[in-house]
Amino acid sequence: MNYIIDLFLHLDVHLADFVAHYGTLVYAGLFAVIFAETGLVVAPFLPGDSLLFAAGALAATGTLDPTLTTVLIAAAAILGNSVNYTIGRAVGPRVFSSTDTSGWVGSLLNRKHLERAHEVFEKHGAMAVISSRFAPIIRTFVPFVAGAAAMPAPKFMTYNVIGGLAWTAVCVGAGFVFGNVPIVKNNFSIIALGIVAVSFIPVVMEVIKQRSSSR
């Protein structure tokens, strides 16, 4: 557990070490982590924003190839969401149609919530798919729910590509521009925590909004 925390807080150092030890295999690792974080519902805990920031910082120094890094991360993000959407489309309706509504799991995964999700994606599909890219954990579940709610595939893919490119450009670009500024480089652990905190703001605001509307 301590290693995982240290890995997250000093992701820039560890990523540089991985490059030194494994060379170009790091590109495959970056692709796999981003793909899993966005494409597998069971892997929302993997680093996303901070990993992109660290990759951008290393790309700025020439440790990683800027173009290859950006293209691979964007491709992994878009492909991951596409797979997640496909899984949701295939099994989501069955997951949400359970007649057992006892307990918190049953209350979460019921047909009424799926119908509500369908309404949300009909009205706010673009905003939901694109903005969720910048919200940890949420971005892992939105594609699945979009598929389960039968959001049209062409519509989802359009917003998926826009969101994936925007997320990659913002996070990798920020790391490329600011990652090697001394005050940032020397305080990466604080920056990493800050990135997570800022990323969770939309999630907290949505929770507050939902609680307020339910009163």
**More confident of the two residues 177 and 127:** 177
Task: Work out the angle between the directed axes of helices 66-96 and 153-178 (0-180°, nearest 10).
Answer: 140
Give pLDDT tens digits for 122-166. 666 778 788 888 877 778 888 888 888 888 999 999 999 999 999
**More confident of the two residues 48 and 64:** 64
Task: Work out the angle between the directed axes of helices 25-39 and 66-96 (0-180°, nearest 10).
Answer: 30
Percent of the chain with pLDDT over 90: 23
> Domains in the chain: how many in total?
1
Under the banding of pLDDT at 50, 70 and 90, the label for residue 107 is very low
**More confident of the two residues 73 and 207:** 73
Query: What tokens were used for 100?
Result: 């057992």
Of 211, 151, 51, the residue nearest 142 (C-alpha): 151
Of 14, 37, 22, the residue nearest 171 (C-alpha): 37
pLDDT for 103 equals 47
Give pLDDT tens digits for 10-50. 565 678 888 888 888 999 988 998 998 888 876 666 777 88
Full residue range of the structural domain in which residue 59 is found? 2-214
Task: Work out the angle between the directed axes of helices 2-9 and 188-214 (0-180°, nearest 10).
Answer: 100
pTM: 0.76
pLDDT for 91 equals 82
**More confident of the two residues 46 and 215:** 46
Mean pLDDT of the chain: 77
pLDDT for 106 equals 45
Under the banding of pLDDT at 50, 70 and 90, the label for residue 68 is very high
Under the banding of pLDDT at 50, 70 and 90, the label for residue 121 is low
